[in-house]
Structure 1
Amino acid sequence: METLNSDVKDFRQANRLSTPRLVKTAQIVFSATFVSAGSSRGGSVSEQLGARSLSRAVFADVRAGILSGAYAPGSKLSPKAIATAANVSLSVVREALTRLAEQGLVVAEPQLGFSVVTLDLEGAQDLNRVRVLIEGAAVKDAIDHADVEYETRVIASHHRLSRTPQWADEQSQTVTEDWARAHAQFHAALLSACTSPRLVEMAASLRETAELYRRWSSTFNASRLRRDVAGEHQALMQAALDRDADLCSRLAGEHINKTTELLTYAVELHEAETDGPTAVSGGA
């Protein structure tokens, strides 16, 4: 019995001594493996994180330039010029432009490089037709299942939108990023009680695709056509609060279609001024 107790004691002692060693050994092995993996990918972990951060910054900057119209539809994008301006490597710029191509804002062509997507009026009209159908169905379902929490989200998002400055520059009619976010949040709130996640996801995806068209069309709003955007949002909020699903759906469709109307007007005006078809045709 005494021998058995002694063996147990020796086992416990050995286990206590070996556990820290095992942990330390595991830490060393993990660290060596992690560093080795980072080296095999070409650069330290900190360098890789730095490159990703720079790529995100370039992505955001070029995206904002495209949406604001600083980069015109169809214009060439020079990775070298962007890299020089941002003081980053060409690989960082190419990664950012590739991501923008995945979002449909940039076109990447072999031998030709990168360019801003050309805005297509027929494509914009088709996109908006689908948006009217999807968002109309989603907002109807949302209102049918609305409650006090839904109303709170709609009111709060509308309040933020109405208090956020829309224009960064009154001369160029550039939409601020804060207003763009508040605008997206308001429309998301209108659909937030919809019981179909897939319908909401489709509506959000189509809205993101239409963002370039909508931003570009806004440049014609104040200077060419009078549009009461704030009034449209107020009417949408009130219809939702009144639980009038049919009215809210119809207003949402009209709100979406205003973008295409502005673009159609802009294209026709350009053709009339130049006596020929315009090279720019876009929307939403």
Structure 2
Amino acid sequence: MANEYPQALTIAGSDSDGSAGMQADLHTFFARKVYGTSIMTACVAGNSYGIAAQVLLPTDFISKEFELLAADYQIRASKTGMLANTELIETVAENYLKYDFGPLVVDPVIMTKHGNMLLEEAAFESLKKLLVPLATVITPNFYEAQKLTNLNIQTEIDYVKAAKQLQKLGAKNVMIKGRHDDPQQARVNDYVLLADGKDFWLSEPYHHTDRINGTGDTLSACIAAEIAKGTDIETAIRIAKKFVNAAIEKEIAVGHKFGPINHWQAEDNIE
């Protein structure tokens, strides 16, 4: 019967070198045995040395992508990636509310893992107001969690406060990714607060490598893939954490500088 196979959706930009964005999401869907669909919002020209150019797709084209996927596929979970401006965020939020594309995993691409701002303030406010309340799961990094909550996160208690604040903004389940910008650190610790109030920490070894492009994309895509297969939220988050760690642990020799993570290694090491 048509559409019995689990299907997931990535709403993101196309990264020409395949290491991040939509390509990383689709790599992850494939590795987790979910059929991947995509709504492209932008195209980026770049390689392992950096990004040189970007083109945003027209919003009427993006809306048409939503319309045609909804008319044919049974998408059971979705995820967002980089949405570059207010107009794109508004278009995505409007169309997600219009169609049934399952639970939404929001990767709020606001700031880099080193704390550099990626969105203009107006776009950030739109994301906070329109997209965060739609999130079944939200996966901010340390700096994004601080920006979204206006909190200075220093202690474990601060992580708890930030997660609760994100729930007040409308997100149901929260995963705050711990800092991983200290070359002396031994582990990366993430905090999770579920919709039912259960919370826990996830910890995996810190790997000293510059081949970490697409880690955030892959984490959120893995959560979405597992949800599409019917996995419960807690288990989906736990699988995603291990999947990303395994993908970072054994490097893949692609590109010259900031390379991709190894989705195939991850698949070999995660049930």
Normalising by structure 2, we get a TM-score of 0.26
- The structure that is strand-richer by fraction is 2
| Structure number, greater radius of gyration | 1
